[in-house]
Amino acid sequence: MSSKTGKPAMRSAAWRISLWATLAFAFGTMVVFVFLHGFVASDIQRRSDAWLSGEVEVLGDVAERTPKNALYDTVVGEVAELAEREVPDKPATGNGTDDTVFFLQSGGDGSLKLWVGAGNGEAHLQAIRAKHIPEDRPTDITVPGFAVPFRVASIRMDDGSQIYLGLSERDEQRVLWSLRLRFLVLWLLIVLLGFGIVFLTTHRMLSHVRRISEAASQIGHSDLDARVPTTKRNDEVSHLALTLNRMLDRIESSMHQLHTITDSLAHDLRSPLTAIRGKLEMSLSTITENEQAEPVVSAIDELDRLTDFLNKSLDVAEAKADALRLSRSVVELDELLRVMLDLYEPSMSENGLRVRLQSRGPVSILVDSALLHRMIANLLDNELKHLPANRNLTIELHSEGSSAILTLEDDGPGFDPEVLLHVFEGRVKGKTSDGHGLGLAFVDAVARAHGGTVAASNRQEGGARIAITLPLAMEQSRHTMVPVVSRSK
Amino acid sequence: MRLLLVEDEIDIRNFLKSSLEETGYQVQAAPDGKTAERLAVEGDFDILIVDLGLPDQDGITLILKLRQLGVKAPVLILSARRSVDDRVRGLEQGGDDYLTKPFALAELLARLRNLLKRNSPAGNDATRLRVQDLELDLLRREATRGGQVLQLTQQEFVLLEYLCRNAGRVVTRSMILDKVWGMRIQPDTNVVDVHIYRLRGKVDGAGQQPLIRTMRGVGYVLKDR
């Protein structure tokens, strides 16, 4: 477990899920905000435009009715100042004069007739001149010296002069700016919070799924008694665990059935074999003539071969159903090979074969030693039976990563091409073979039962090559530390 | 030697009984666990042969029950099962032995002898073995025949020692593989025969009386007379 949590979180599925979910969420809220922002901005614009149009009309009215005498400037100026105080959304300012609103009347010749506002109004007049302002709706004017444009409404007087009322968009922009700022801060907070929540929940859920898959992968290689961990919650993950466990129940029961069948088959065949062998042996002890003994001896030999065939067939059948029963212990493969070669070497040199063992030191594997002994005996028997005289057999052993790799290479005739395809299936044998063709099928079965592999090929320079991988002991003992809930019976 | 044979198959029971009696055992046979329990408590047996697949109960259950009843004799377990049960391994470590069916009679007899020897007070801690004019010095790992030192390899010495310890009795190939090489395998090639052949070439020189004899269909024997 601890080795798995050390894995960077950025490579986990939980990370990817929360990243995509957060991206979608962030993008969605951003779109909604942009839409709302546009709505608010246009509403503020509409309100200030309505105020501008109304006020400019009132001012035009006042200017129309006020007699064009010395008092005209004062009267219209004061009305304009009053109007300016009613600016919508305007924050309270300390002094009376501010630069957010101006009133301007230009004469028919385009000269500045009346100015109410900050400064002398020349710059504003220049800007207005430069741009045509339609009468029915307010327009944006950019005045040099002011960073923020003005919204200007105008009305035309009967005497040919023109009245302008301008309102700086600074307040509007300030409102929108603070709206954006607040949104951004809140948006960031919510997105980060959402990411955190999604990550934590999916991580928790997926770590449960991971525990289930780790436990499930362990089951079958060690024992079928174990079950994946379940939770009390009633969600999909706990359903997955329950379904897996129900499936394991069924597998275990059919496996049990298979064992019962092979066991009773073995028993039913072995008992008569035992009786027959015993009787043959008894009759052999009473025979003194060598010639008379011959048929009995060969009958016993045949019987032993039949027994061996029976054992191997049942082992291969069980292994193919992944149901071989293993009783594991740590085996030093390097040492075992030396003992095996010690046993086989005389027969091999008797047959004119030269054997060489290349080993790079001890290699420990966790296996069923009885099965492993028989597997290696099968491999060596196979070489002994099929290699012609004056050939070489090289056995090479080394460990690579988490696997022990055992290769047997000879310079014999190699496999028949049509045999090579089915060499591990059992009941396939070369034309010259007198075995029952189960040898390599058994090797394959044992290797696979231990989580290993076997590959057979013909070497380019001629000869056969069989490569076997078996998991190293360390690797397997670490796997068994994965928490697997044992079922209470 | 009093022997209790617990085996439900009538054919096997009969041939085992007669061959064991021929060898010199006093045999009582039981077809099931119940009978075996009764007989075992009544009679004082030196050794037991118990088949695992009994009609009324499991062989191992029977053995454990007998142990509780105070039966101390060693047990040779016969099994027709495919894999060796962990519980059988446990019993094997506790001093009992097992044999899978079908078996060679010679092997059965040899295992019985081993079990009895293990339980007898006189140990086999002799430092020298002698069979006719063949002599083995176990400390110096040296073998001589008629005073001539034999040039044996380490492995050949172990093999000869095993044959000497069982002199006059047949040992099978699987017994040799089990005791000399420590493996229960059944090679379908002549690996053991070649070892014996080589050993015989060194032990039985020209003009000497051959000591190692082949019992065809059964195994080998080192003649002790």
Please give the sequence-ordered ranges of beta strands (E in DSSP) within B102-141, or none if there are none: 128-131, 134-137
Mean of per-residue pLDDT scores for chain A: 82
Residue A245 neighbours by CB distance under 10 Å: 19
Kindly list the residues from chain A whose CB atom is less than 8 angstroms away from the CB atom of residue B81: 263, 266-267
Q: Enter the pTM of the model.
A: 0.65
Kindly list the residues from chain A whose CB atom is less than 8 angstroms away from the CB atom of residue B186: 304, 307-308, 311, 374, 377
- Amino acid making up residue B198: R
Q: What is the residue whose two structure tokens read 């200017």?
A: A63
- How far apart are alpha carbons A218 and A203 in whole angstroms? 22
Residue A34 is predicted with a pLDDT of: 94
The answer to whether the Cβ–Cβ distance between B188 and A308 falls below 8 Å is yes
pLDDT bin (cut points 50, 70, 90) of residue A315 is confident
Kindly list the residues from chain B whose CB atom is less than 8 angstroms away from the CB atom of residue A346: 191, 194-195, 198
pLDDT at residue A211 above 80? yes
- How far apart are alpha carbons A141 and A152 in whole angstroms? 7
Q: What is the 3-state secondary structure (H, E, C) of A113-143?
A: EEEECCCCCHHHHHHHHHCCCCCCCCEEECC
Q: Which tops the pLDDT comparison, B143 or A59?
A: B143
pLDDT, one tens digit per residue, over B24-58 is 999 999 999 999 999 998 888 999 999 988 888 88
What CA–CA distances, in Å, run from A460 to A407, A408, A409, A414? 15, 15, 11, 10
Residue A294 neighbours by CB distance under 10 Å: 13
B213 touches chain A (CB under 8 A): no
pLDDT bin (cut points 50, 70, 90) of residue B114 is confident
In angstroms, how far apart are the furthest CA atoms of chain B?
59
B149 touches chain A (CB under 8 A): no
Residue A484 is predicted with a pLDDT of: 42
DSSP state of A9: G
* Backbone CA torsion sign across A287, A292, A294, A297: negative
Do the bridges between strand A328-332 and strand B97-100 make them parallel or antiparallel, or are there none, so unpaired?
unpaired
Q: What residues contact A167, with CB distance under 8 A and at least 6 apart?
A: A48, A51, A52, A87, A100, A101, A150, A151, A152
Q: Do domains A13-175 and A328-479 have the same CATH topology?
A: no
Give exposure, B162-179, as e/b (b: 16+ Cβ within 10 Å): ebbbbbebbbbbbbbbbb
pLDDT at residue A4 above 60? no
Domains in chain B, start-ordered, CATH in brackets? 2-119 (3.40.50.2300), 128-222 (1.10.10.10)
Q: Which residues pair with A102 in a beta bridge?
A: A166
pLDDT bin (cut points 50, 70, 90) of residue B80 is confident
Q: What is the mean predicted confidence (pLDDT) over A68-97?
A: 67
Kindly list the residues from chain A whose CB atom is less than 8 angstroms away from the CB atom of residue B13: none
Residue A379 is predicted with a pLDDT of: 92
pLDDT at residue A266 above 90? no
Q: What is the mean predicted confidence (pLDDT) over B134-162?
A: 91
pLDDT bin (cut points 50, 70, 90) of residue A426 is low
And the tokens for A437?
């063709």
Q: What is the mean predicted confidence (pLDDT) over B207-222?
A: 85
CA angle, corner B44, sides to B40 and B48, nearest 5? 55
List the domain boundaries for chain A.
Answer: 13-175, 236-320, 328-479
Share of residues in chain A with pLDDT > 70 (%): 89
Residue A90 is predicted with a pLDDT of: 54
User: Which of the residue ranges A228-242, A250-264, A305-319, B154-168 has the most confident prediction, judged by mean pLDDT?
Assistant: B154-168
And the tokens for A463?
């000869």
pLDDT bin (cut points 50, 70, 90) of residue A96 is very low
- How far apart are alpha carbons B147 and A441 in whole angstroms? 51
Q: What is the mean predicted confidence (pLDDT) over B175-187?
A: 86
Q: What residues contact B178, with CB distance under 8 A and at least 6 apart?
A: B184
pLDDT, one tens digit per residue, over A116-131 is 877 778 888 888 888 8
And the tokens for B20?
């064991």
B154 touches chain A (CB under 8 A): no
Residue B121 is predicted with a pLDDT of: 56
Instruction: Decide if domain A328-479 falls under CATH 3.90.1150.10.
Output: no
pLDDT at residue A407 above 90? yes
Question: What number is the ipTM of this complex?
Answer: 0.81
And the tokens for B32?
């099931």
pLDDT bin (cut points 50, 70, 90) of residue A488 is very low
Q: Which tops the pLDDT comparison, A365 or A289?
A: A365
The answer to whether the Cβ–Cβ distance between A284 and B89 falls below 8 Å is no
Q: Which CATH superfamily is domain A13-175 in?
A: PAS domain (3.30.450.20)
- Amino acid making up residue B91: L
- How far apart are alpha carbons A55 and A61 in whole angstroms? 10
pLDDT at residue A97 above 70? no
And the tokens for A156?
């035309």
pLDDT, one tens digit per residue, over A228-257 is 888 787 888 888 888 888 988 888 888 888
Q: What is the mean predicted confidence (pLDDT) over B161-172?
A: 88
A465 and A408 Cβ atoms separated by less than 8 Å: yes
Alpha-carbon Rg of chain B, whole angstroms? 19
B94 and B67 Cβ atoms separated by less than 8 Å: no
Report the residue of B83, B174, B179 to disrupt the A interface, i.e. the one with the largest count of A CBs within 10 Å: B83
- How far apart are alpha carbons A171 and A84 in whole angstroms? 14
pLDDT at residue A6 above 60? no
